[in-house]
Structure 1
Amino acid sequence: MGGTDSHCLSVSSYEITQNEANEMGGSMSDTVEVTWDTSFGSSGCENAFDIRRKTFVDEQGVPYDEVFDARDKEAIHIVGRINESAIACVRCVDEGGGRWRVGWLATHQELRGKGIGTQAMRLAIKTIGEHGGHEVVLSAQGTAIEFYRGLGFEQCGASEDLPSGFTLTPMHCTLKN
């Protein structure tokens, strides 16, 4: 697999601060447009990987080798950009038999709570369906369980405490074809 497809979606209106606008290379406005790229493999995802590293390694203390692994090379990466700057990403891995695993959903710290993660997940689910997927699974941190429930996911097993101190809850949703 190779290449990039671009999908343009508008984010619901929200105000950004001047600092946010400056970081993204733009000026203040009430509406910000996010361009979504779907990349196959890890090529071209470097600045998206910066968002993932900042979120999981720097902010949450997850070991680097847990956050980045060989599956990045075989995954579909969905990257949200504003003015060419990556502001969100999510990874989709084909586990075979129509089952896909979504993980490492990350949004720029200044832009959380504005619907960008929801858009990333909806595009991930749509992309998985377009690739023949019929089930999406993920491991949710405790603080994200309600977020994923709002997207149609249900718990499908016992929560697991990891040595890093995080608790992950397995969740899944079945895609409607």
Structure 2
Amino acid sequence: MLHFEWTQNLKSKTYKDALDIRKEVFVEEQQVPVSIEIDDLEDKTLHLVGYEKSIPVATARIYPMENGKYKVQRVAIRKVVREKKYGSILMQEIERYIRELGGKRLFLGAQNHAIGFYEKVGYTICGEEYEEAGILHHDMDKMIERDESRVEIEH
């Protein structure tokens, strides 16, 4: 079971935990340069950490865009817990929170090896393949706005 913490405070323990996971997954495992991993958007994004008991195991950051659109970035799960399927739980939490903020659409740049995962949680490819930090990606998106006009009312 995971519990989640959100922050925008770059001096918080939650943010430090997010960075630790990102460095482990992206910098150490995938060899992304730290200068690319930690960028000038850090103070403009929402940072999410999922904790198993008190141990940080999952993270993502969310960049608010225009017109109810949010970009999901830096999704990372520690290798030691990947078999627990925490990725889908993390994505559900992102959707829940962003929907509360009035978000309508989530957008992300998926590493090609992760496209199947994102498709399983409802994302569709919406762009051509591109390279970022030496890794091939595709843009994907998902509508999360509830369509209240389609709610069935039982009589």
Q: TM-score range by the shorter chain?
A: 0.7 to 0.9
Which runs of 5 or more structure 2 residues have no equivalent in the other structure? Answer: 147-155
1:123-162 alignment runs, 5 A limit: 123-162=93-132
For 2:68 and 2:9, locate their aligned partners in 1 and report how far apart those are by CA, in whole Å.
19
Stretch of structure 1 that moved more, 37-46 or 117-126: 37-46
Matched AA of 1:71 = L
Map residues 97-136 of structure 1 onto 2, 5 A cutoff: 97-136=67-106
SS in structure 1 of the partner of residue 103 of structure 2: coil
Residue identity matched to 1:173? K
- 1:30-69 equivalence runs, <5 A: 33-44=1-12, 45-69=15-39
Using the alignment, how far apart are the partners of 2:33 and 2:10 within structure 1?
A: 19
What whole-Å deviation, never above 9, does each CA across 1:128-170 have from its counterpart, x for those lacking one?
11111111100000110010001110000101023x4210100
For 1:174, the equivalent position in structure 2 comes to 143
Provide Cα deviations, 1:92-115, integer angstroms capped at 9, x if missing partner.
Answer: 110121110001111111100311
Structure 1: tracts of 5 or more residues without a match:
1-32
Give the corresponding residue for 2:65.
95
CA distance in 2, matches of 1:40, 1:127: 14
* 2-structure distance, mates of 1:77, 1:129: 16
Matched residue count: 144
How far off its partner does 1:66 sit? 1.6
2:46 is the alignment partner of 1:76: yes
Whether contact under 8 Å (1:38, 1:79) holds in the other structure is yes
Partner amino acid for 1:36? F
Alpha-carbon RMSD = 1.3
Distance 1:127 1:150 in 2: 20
Percent of paired sites with the same residue = 27
| C-alpha contact (below 8 Å) 1:41/1:75 kept by paired residues | no
- Cα distance between partner residues in 1 of 2:11 and 2:92: 23
Deviations 1:60-99 (A, max 9, x none): 0111122111222121111111232211111111012111
Q: TM-score, length-normalised on structure 2?
A: 0.87
